[in-house]
A = this chain, B = another copy of it.
Amino acid sequence: MRGYDKYAFEPFAVTVDLAVFTVRAGELQVLLVERGQAPYAGRWALPGGFVLPHESAETAARRELAEETGIVDVSGLHLEQLRTYSEPGRDPRMRVVSVAFTALVPDLPEPRGGGDAAQARWLPYGGAGALAFDHDRILADARERVGAKLEYTCLATSFCPPEFTLGELQQIYETVWGTALDRPNFRRKVLATPGFVEPVPGAARLTGGRGKPAALYRAGAATTLHPPLLRPEGRSS
């Protein structure tokens, strides 16, 4: 049925929705905006907006990410298409097809509302009540995808600042997966994977915590983990 003149077609509105994750205070947090008007007034929703005529969905998503987080240079952040949600009734006002994206940001850049009505805020995953539209579903899908990708990619470093300790990296895994990991085993695995992390030439974090100071690492050149770092018990969270 590829013949544009043979069948009529209905134009749809196309939007992007963003599931932006960060790990702060040992907690998985999500960037959300509060809706000011119906439908779902007062409910939290994923940030997003229309794809403009000259944009691809990826471009629109990156633009929205910059607008909502207030981060100026958004080019280094991990942004990845999740999937497209197109159920006919997902927006009660009109037919909206939404391309959802997942983004991972390193630390806690408290969002600067980018001239928009609704202010974006970090909220704990699951701590915002029922979200607007089908955003609970999107957010759950995004979390599952992130958890799965931690197993076989080096994606976890996207949550970390440029220099980090192995303890911080481990906490990313523990927070996203919701499980505790054995510290020596985690360390052995990470260091045995070539290109996952590389040591910062001559440094050890000293003044921070109260234990033995930890060595600093930065992200390496590898993107995939072979063999993968599987979460315990098969499935979790």
Contacts and interface: CB of A to CB of B under 8 A. Distances in A.
A43 to B, nearest CB: 11
Interface string A32-75: 01010100000001011111111111100000100100000000
A99 B86 contact: yes
A83 B83 contact: yes
A88 interface: yes
A2 interface: yes
Interface residues of A, number: 52
Chain A interface, DSSP helix/strand/loop, else mixed = loop
A224 interface: yes
A227 B51 CA distance: 40
Nearest to A132: B2
Contact of A2 (B6, B48, B97, B152): B48
Contact of A97 (B48, B54, B88, B97): B97
A149 to B, nearest CB: 11
Nearest to A234: B226
Nearest to A81: B83
A182 interface: no
Contacts of A14: 9, 12, 14, 86, 97
Contact of A12 (B12, B152, B224, B227): B12
Given A1-B50, A11-B11, 10 more contacts: A1-B64, A2-B48, A2-B49, A3-B37, A3-B118, A10-B53, A12-B13, A51-B97, A53-B95, A57-B84
6 contacts: A2-B45, A11-B13, A12-B12, A51-B97, A56-B86, A58-B86
